[in-house]
Amino acid sequence: MELKELIRPLEVLEIVGDASVEITGIQSDSRKVEKGFLFVAVRGVSVDGHAYIEGAAGKGAAAIICEEIPSDENIHTSGNNPVFIRVKDSAEALGKVLSAWYENPSDNLILVGVTGTNGKTTIATLLYEMFRKMGHKVGLLSTVCNYIDGEAIPTDHTTPDPVTLHSLMARMVEADCEYAFMEVSSHSIDQKRISGLSFDGGIFTNLTRDHLDYHKTVENYLKAKKKFFDDLPASAFALTNADDKSGLVMLQNTAAKKLTYSLRTLADFKGKILESHFEGTEMLINGREVMTRFVGRFNAYNLLAVYGAAVSLGKDPEEVLVVLSDLHSVSGRFQTIQSPAGYTAIVDYAHTPDALVNVLNSIHEVLDGSGRVITVVGCGGNRDKGKRPIMAKEASRLSDQLILTSDNPRFEEPDEIIRDMVAGLNAADMEHTLCITDRTQAIKTATMLAKKGDVILVAGKGHEDYQEIKGVKHHFDDREKLREIFATQQQ
């Protein structure tokens, strides 16, 4: 494709060279540049792509999009003289040229994004499952796994990098997918990884403390989420949780059709929990009863969002309720495993204070005082340290026995992370708290303490099947550990 066609959607400030040059590929990683490629120099959080312009030119880049055209003579006299395109924001430009390169795939999909602190994975995945059950070909971009209809594609990030993202969208179109549902992280909004995508709908779940290591303040975190809704077109819908204090903020400046869901107040999609137990929840949604296989108030909100989005996309409300009743929980999200000894283990991804409180409150709602709660939890390394004492305090408050352990320590020492968590506990809390760094031993200890009718919550990792230690991912799966222990109880 000619460069001038690729840059047509951009606000170009300056062109140095012949824009009719033919482009054979696009990259923002200079290591992956090949002869004839367009290299886009993006200013990242820790790396500035402008520092790699010379390397990209040396590899044969035919053109370079950047915010500053370098004056380095080595680039212009190296035998390869790339065309330079100067723009105000190369991160935004990257998404737009990728969309043009792949013939605007999101224009050929009904694309819905889900953002918020908690619930993104569940809502996006359930919408994917629902629309497939309704006979559609569907794509999914999520924390757990990406899917092109039935084809699973492993994922490393909540929202992929722009090059991967647009190529996946193009593959969805090639596979005749009609719909695509994706998690939209605050990082991807702030870093403009979703630039060039055309959304038909947006869903907001909630906003609580998370990712402050990146955003620094809750206000910045909120602004990142809100920008997603501010950028939605008038043809899209914006569906928000009216019960969350930030819910209606998301709708303030959007041109999209404004819709709400709620368990507590009047809303377009109103729900009520009628009965809850570990096998599921009976709900009232817009006046109709439905039995679901999900547990907890937080899941009731997720189901309302799924229902509201499906109806907003034109699906018959009755059909939506029928399919909703047949959906199963997402891997590692309030996933129950029954012990032969008569207690229940629950594995959940909860890794923020609010998510942990939601899961523990849901457990208490079902137990209704008839059993003890034993919680195994840790905090990830090289992430927001401020939430560590809060996580420990909330877990202590809502648990009869607390075991603090290692999560993904990354490049930190696990014992130091646990000490940060212990800082949030007082002497009374410590009386029912154990610190066991080894996660396997922590889980084993919880099973030894549990009695018939109790519930063990193993929180923080959910679907993850690894522990990241010093830059290396070691196989570790909470669910596997529990099943191994339970297998010995049957012998």
CA 421/CA 378 separation, integer angstroms? 8
Contact 485, 447 (CB under 8 A): yes
CA 461/CA 204 separation, integer angstroms? 23
Residue indicated by tokens 């737009």? 96
Q: Give the pLDDT confidence score for residue 337 in this predicted structure.
A: 92
Contact 28, 94 (CB under 8 A): yes
Q: If you write DSSP's letter for every residue of 21-45 in order, what string do you get?
A: -B--EEESSGGG--TTEEEE--B-S
CA 48/CA 160 separation, integer angstroms? 19
Q: Give the pLDDT confidence score for residue 359 in this predicted structure.
A: 93
CA 324/CA 311 separation, integer angstroms? 12
Q: Give the pLDDT confidence score for residue 368 in this predicted structure.
A: 84
Q: Which of 243, 270, 452 is nearest to 344 (CA)?
A: 452
**For 446-462, b where at least 16 C-beta lie within 10 A, e where not — what string?**
bbebbeeebbbbbbbbb
What are the φ and ψ backbone dihedral angles of 369, each rounded to 5 degrees? 80, 5
Q: Which of 38, 162, 170, 25 is nearest to 102 (CA)?
A: 170
C-alpha distances out from residue 206 to 191, 261, 350, 355, Å? 21, 12, 14, 10
In order along its 491 residues, the chain shows pLDDT tens digits of: 999 999 999 999 999 999 999 999 999 999 999 999 999 999 987 789 999 999 999 999 999 999 999 886 656 545 578 999 999 999 999 999 999 999 999 999 999 999 998 899 999 999 999 999 999 999 999 988 899 999 999 876 656 889 999 999 999 999 999 999 999 988 889 889 999 999 999 999 998 755 455 545 777 878 888 999 999 999 999 999 999 999 999 999 999 999 999 999 999 999 999 998 888 999 999 999 999 999 989 999 999 999 999 999 999 999 999 999 999 988 888 999 999 999 999 999 999 898 899 899 999 989 988 899 999 999 999 998 999 999 999 999 999 999 999 999 999 999 999 999 999 999 999 999 999 999 999 999 999 999 999 999 999 999 999 999 999 999 999 999 999 999 998 76
Q: Give the pLDDT confidence score for residue 157 in this predicted structure.
A: 62
Would you give the end-to-end CA distance of the chain in angstroms?
Answer: 65
Bridge pairing between strands 472-475 and 466-469: antiparallel
CA torsion sign for 7, 8, 13, 14 is positive
Q: Give the pLDDT confidence score for residue 188 in this predicted structure.
A: 87
Contact 124, 201 (CB under 8 A): no
Contact 355, 349 (CB under 8 A): yes
* Joined tokens for residue 385: 């340290």
Q: Give the pLDDT confidence score for residue 44 in this predicted structure.
A: 82
CA 103/CA 267 separation, integer angstroms? 38
